[in-house]
């Protein structure tokens, strides 16, 4: 069986709406995803980088993120044909471990705990494919990077791109 590694934030978990709402509410702003095409919020508001990171250090931040549409059904189907590992760069926010683990158990209970990889540098991951929204993880990855579209990566080229989970299904399982 070939092995697929899958990122969590902005791929399985809809991270951005909550992060944006916290920032907007605290600053009386109304930034939308449309304002963030081709860039990250910390680039648009570079004077608030530390506060933006602090939202993510809240141990509960990752606990109630919405599940990306169709990700549960598609991952369940992939699971029959591929070895699936969930690979999240959790060392960036070590306080997120418990919330991320509980979120996975809630929404992806059919996956085995031993296939969850909370890691630092993803270049250690040995898989045939990595589905991720950050191209930096592909640079030293030995398998095929699959870029999951997010507002910040719309200008990236050089990798197969999927816009949603139906695209993931088509890429790996045909239509
Ligand atoms: Mg991500």
Rounded to the nearest angstrom, the distance between the alpha carbon of 25 and the centre of ligand 1 is 23
Q: Encode pLDDT of 21-45 as tens digits.
A: 999 999 999 999 999 999 999 999 9
Rounded to the nearest angstrom, the distance between the alpha carbon of 77 and the centre of ligand 1 is 21
39-58 in b/e form (b: 16+ CB < 10 A) is ebbbeeeeeeeeebeeebee
Can you give the pLDDT at residue 43?
95
Rounded to the nearest angstrom, the distance between the alpha carbon of 88 and the centre of ligand 1 is 7
Read off the pLDDT band of 17 (50, 70, 90): very high
Per-residue pLDDT at 109 exceeds 90: yes
Q: Encode pLDDT of 42-79 as tens digits.
A: 999 999 999 999 999 999 999 999 999 999 999 999 99
- For the annotated catalytic residues, the residue numbers are 7, 9
Q: Which domains does the chain have, with CATH numbers?
A: 3-14+64-173 (3.40.50.1000), 16-59 (no CATH)
Query: What is the rounded distance in angstroms from the CA atom of residue 171 to the CA atom of residue 78?
Result: 11
């Amino acid at each position: 069986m070939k092995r697929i590694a899958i990122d969590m934030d902005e791929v399985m978990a809809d991270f951005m709406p909550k992060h944006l709402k916290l920032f907007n509410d605290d600053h009386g702003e109304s930034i939308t995803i449309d304002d963030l095409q081709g860039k990250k919020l910390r680039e648009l508001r570079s004077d608030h980088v530390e506060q933006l990171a602090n939202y993510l250090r809240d141990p509960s931040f990752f606990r109630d993120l919405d599940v990306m549409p169709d990700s549960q059904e598609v991952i369940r189907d992939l699971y029959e044909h591929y070895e699936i590992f969930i690979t999240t760069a959790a060392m960036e926010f070590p306080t997120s471990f418990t919330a991320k683990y509980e979120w996975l158990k809630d929404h992806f209970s059919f996956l085995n705990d031993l296939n969850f990889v909370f890691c630092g540098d993803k270049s250690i991951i040995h898989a045939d494919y990595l589905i991720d929204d950050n191209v930096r993880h592909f640079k030293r990855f030995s398998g095929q990077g699959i870029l999951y579209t997010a507002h910040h990566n719309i200008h990236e080229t050089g990798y197969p791109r999927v816009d949603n989970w139906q695209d993931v299904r088509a890429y790996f399982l045909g239509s």
